[in-house]
């Protein structure tokens, strides 16, 4: 059994929501859901939009801790986390380094591969980093290196923003141009044909645990894109997943291993593909500030594990920490 959390003991709480990233709209939805749940649970919580107010106001208002419901850049990439470290205000989720690395899809892949974790093959392209002839040669080589179809996406965005599935080599330049609208660094990735799943993790260090796997069944039209993720009811989510038990356990193992490899804490959500031809899971990315909207997957997995939405929000808030606190706490546990 988990310890009973006293909402009053958590002090004044700011739910950071909105922000200036391309995922602002989703962040506002996530933040409102969290805010309503915390207030209903007796927490002294208020909204705070870093795009409209300076973070230094948090200290002046006597904020004791922050629930980060920001997504994407300047919220999920370590920058806000670093500011809160300097202000000395504990916050939910992973620390500066884990957020920074997880937001960079290329660095995440490099780290996972070093840890022996399976992830699709990839090529990194940087706009303007080489002469035009080299760039053309590199682009022409992509189908041979990664096969077709392939995926093109910004290296530092989420929520399927700027992502294109390329089925013909002639589509590659347009796909690169679309991704480059959001990021100078573009990730070209092997397409894994199969089922998409996600697996949330709660906790830190040796205490981290994987939640039940969610199987995502997207429509043929649009697939699991930004619109279908958040604004339609055409995507089906299955939790329990209905996958074979051994495969479910392997996905949970990989999610937990990927989470720990990045140094994540508090919570996170790994996205994976199960290759159809051999049922092998491949890690795609790690979300260190997952969505908390009505369509979001962490609350769904938590419900399947017996944790309702208000309890989930309260638990995450109670786990708020600073990097130094989290490190000393982890060392203390290891020493016992």
Q: Residues with catalytic annotation?
A: 23, 159, 230, 269, 271, 285, 287, 291
Strand order in the sheet with 13-16: 45-48, 13-16, 65-68
Question: What is the token pair recorded at 249?
Answer: 């356990």
- Collapsed DSSP state (helix, strand, coil) of residue 28: helix
Q: How far apart are alpha carbons 125 and 130 in whole angstroms?
A: 10
104: which residues sit within 8 A by CB, 6+ positions away? Answer: 155, 156
DSSP structure string for 112-135: HHHTT-----EEEEETTSS-HHHH
Cis peptide before 240 (omega within 30 of 0): yes
- The 3-state DSSP class for residue 178 equals helix
Rounded Cα distance, 304 and 41, in Å: 21
Distance CA 305, CA 201 (A): 12
**Cα distances (angstroms) measured from residue 147 to each of 120, 142, 162, 165, 290:** 11, 7, 20, 12, 31
Encoded tokens for 212: 């039940």
**What are residue 186's phi and psi, to 5 degrees?**
-120, 140
How do beta strands 150-154 and 164-166 pair?
antiparallel
Query: In Å, how far from its chain's centre is CA 227?
Result: 18
Instruction: Report the distance separating Cα 66 and Cα 247, nearest Å.
Output: 36
Beta bridge partners of 197: 215, 272
| Cα 134 versus chain centre, distance | 33
From the list 129, 218, 215, the residue with the least C-alpha distance to 165 is: 218
């Amino acid at each position: 059994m988990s310890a009973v959390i006293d909402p009053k003991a958590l002090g004044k709480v700011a739910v950071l929501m909105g922000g200036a990233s391309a995922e602002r709209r989703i962040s506002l939805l996530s933040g409102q859901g969290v805010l309503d749940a915390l207030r209903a649970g007796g927490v002294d919580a208020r909204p705070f939009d870093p795009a409209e107010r300076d973070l230094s106001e948090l200290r002046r208002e006597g904020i004791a801790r922050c629930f980060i419901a920001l997504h994407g850049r300047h919220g999920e990439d370590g920058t806000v986390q670093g500011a809160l470290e300097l202000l000395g205000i504990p916050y939910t989720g992973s620390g500066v380094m884990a957020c920074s690395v997880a937001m960079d899809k290329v660095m995440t892949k490099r780290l996972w591969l070093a840890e022996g974790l399976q992830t699709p093959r990839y090529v990194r392209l940087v706009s303007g980093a080489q002469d035009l002839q080299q760039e053309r040669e590199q682009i022409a080589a992509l189908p041979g290196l990664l096969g077709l179809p392939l995926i093109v996406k910004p290296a530092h965005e989420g929520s399927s923003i700027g992502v294109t599935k390329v089925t013909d080599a002639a589509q590659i330049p347009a796909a690169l141009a679309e991704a480059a609208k959001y990021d100078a660094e573009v990730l070209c990735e092997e397409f894994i044909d199969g089922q998409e799943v996600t697996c949330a993790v709660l906790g830190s260090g040796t205490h981290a645990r994987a939640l039940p796997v969610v199987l995502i069944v997207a429509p043929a039209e649009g697939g699991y894109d930004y619109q279908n993720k958040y604004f339609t009811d055409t995507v089906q989510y299955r939790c329990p997943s209905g996958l074979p038990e051994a495969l479910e356990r392997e996905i949970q193992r990989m999610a937990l291993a990927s989470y720990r490899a990045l140094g994540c804490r508090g919570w996170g959500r790994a996205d994976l593909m199960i290759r159809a031809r051999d049922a092998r899971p491949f890690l795609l990315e790690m979300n260190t500030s997952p969505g908390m909207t009505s369509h979001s997957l962490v609350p769904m997995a938590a419900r399947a594990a017996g944790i309702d939405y208000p309890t989930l929000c309260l638990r995450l808030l109670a786990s708020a920490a600073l990097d130094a606190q989290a490190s000393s706490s982890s060392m203390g546990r290891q020493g016992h």
